[in-house]
Amino acid sequence: MLDDSIIISYLKENIDEKRLAHSLGTAKEAVKLANKYRADAKKAHIAGLLHDVAKGKSQCGFKKYADQYGIDIDDIEAKNTELIHGKLGAAMVKEQLNIDDEDILCAIRWHTTGRAGMSLLEKIIYIADLIEPGRHFEGIEGIRVVAYQDIDKAMLLALEQVMCFVRSKGFALHPNSLEAYNYFKKEEVN
Ligand SMILES: [Fe+2]
Ligand SMILES: [Fe+2]
């Protein structure tokens, strides 16, 4: 597995201080969640650190970089280009850091929209990203508590939060997020 110093210097080349602090917070939270749910804490640490590495590409346009990496963009991503940074980040770390671990790549890839049938590591990164100590929003304390009781229930709360946020911004909800929401809703009933 990659050395932390290599990852941190790679992050410093790609994202600003504020985003780096968020990434460190996400990694720390992800390790705590991994320990709680008996997931691979090392993978959680690496995916947490790297999940937002593509965020720094926003100034020059995510679409341009997506093209460069041969990433397909759907209609919703074309309108809300922020969504692209998950896919782009996974492609970047695969090529530039030679990370080929599918668990890590998928956790980075899916942290933006979520999806139906998410893996445990995908859920951990999704939730850690949302509740790391640097985050502040109404309702976060409830999600922080539930995150350590029932991660699927936390996913439901998180997706509800995201749905409200997306609507308030006037964007269309990505179908993967809706599918994720329906998936966790169904899990709740079963
Ligand atoms: Fe992100
Ligand atoms: Fe993030």
pLDDT value of position 59:
65
Domains of the chain: 4-189 (1.10.3210.10)
Total-model pTM: 0.96
Which ligand approaches the C-alpha of residue 23 most closely? 2
Digits of tens for pLDDT over the chain (190 positions)?
Answer: 789 999 999 999 999 999 999 999 999 999 999 999 999 999 999 999 999 999 998 766 888 899 999 999 999 999 889 999 999 999 999 999 999 999 999 999 999 999 999 999 999 999 999 999 999 988 899 999 999 999 999 999 999 999 998 889 898 999 999 999 999 999 887 7
What is the Cα Rg of the chain in Å? 16
Could you list which residues have their CB under 5 Å from ion ligand 2? Answer: 52, 129
How far, in Å, is the centroid of ligand 1 from the Cα of 150?
22
Alpha helices in 38-139 (DSSP H): 41-50, 62-68, 75-79, 84-96, 102-109, 120-131
If one counts every other C-beta atom within 10 angstroms of the C-beta of residue 104, the result is: 28
How far, in Å, is the centroid of ligand 2 from the Cα of 80?
16
Distance CA 87, CA 176 (A): 13
